[in-house]
Amino acid sequence: MVKVREIIYPFYDERIETELKEYGITEVFSFGNVQLGKYKIIGKGKTGTVVYIGGGKVVKIRRADSPKESLKIEGRIQELAYPVAPKVHYYGNNFIVMDYIDGRHLEHNEKVEVIVKLLEAAKILEDKKIEHGELVRPYKNVLVSDRVYVIDYDDATIKENPKNVTSILSWLKRVDLARKYSKGVPFDQIVKELLEAFS
């Protein structure tokens, strides 16, 4: 186990440590494929580090150099995004505790099953009025295990006409289908036309 202060990144910030301790997070596991100094962690991004805390849960800790003062909005939107997003247990200004997903990132040339699951996830987010905001380049923001999860709601917003499906279709270089979907062609029809290209 590692003292939580050791993995506050990229420099120590007392406010982060204090809040984590208030929520009982005092020690974390050196576990994962990403090296952070002497320790291993699950992931590192532009606003947070993700660390295993045991019991199938991780904590995303706000980076001390993040321009965002709080992760509360992100935590709230991610909570709404369940079950497309990993389940959120609790969150504060400096952290989000969520389920650990033992999966891999999205790759180029994914199998059609994964693509369809991803489009369905994108559609569910739209039904929940959530625009993820970073799905045109989905690699890092999608985890694939037995299911497809959309992670990282750092840029997500709530809006009346959220665009996620068209972002995925653009990533797939199917601007034709993106345009059809925008014009109101039903989601199932879009998936059907996409499947034709794979068959």
Ligand X SMILES: Nc1ncnc2c1ncn2[C@@H]1O[C@H](COP(=O)(O)OP(=O)(O)O)[C@@H](O)[C@H]1O
Binding site for ligand X (CB under 6 A): 42-48, 50, 58, 60, 86, 98-101, 140, 143, 151-152, 154
Distance CA 122, CA 102 (A): 20
- Minimum CB–partner distance for residue 70 and ligand X (Å): 13
Report which residue type is found at 170: S
Residue of closest CB approach to Mg ion: 45
- Minimum CB–partner distance for residue 131 and ligand X (Å): 16
Element (H, E) at 182: helix 175-182
The one among 45, 103, 124, 128 contacting Mg ion by CB under 5 A: 45
The one among 74, 152, 164, 174 contacting Mg ion by CB under 5 A: 152
Judged by beta carbon distances under 5 to 8 A according to partner kind, the member of Mg ion, ligand X, none in contact with residue 86 is ligand X
> Residue 45 or 57: which CB sits closer to Mg ion?
45
- Minimum CB–partner distance for residue 86 and ligand X (Å): 4
Distance CA 195, CA 39 (A): 44
SS3 label, residue 39: strand
- How does DSSP assign 70-125, residue by residue? -SHHHHHHHHHHTTTSPPEEEE-SSEEEEE----EE--TT--HHHHHHHHHHHHHH
Judged by beta carbon distances under 5 to 8 A according to partner kind, the member of ligand X, Mg ion, none in contact with residue 42 is ligand X
| Adjacency order of strands within the sheet including 95-99 | 43-44, 48-54, 57-62, 95-99, 88-91
- Minimum CB–partner distance for residue 48 and ligand X (Å): 4
> Residue 18 or 157: which CB sits closer to Mg ion?
157
- Minimum CB–partner distance for residue 56 and Mg ion (Å): 21
| Site residues, Mg ion (CB under 5 A) | 45, 152
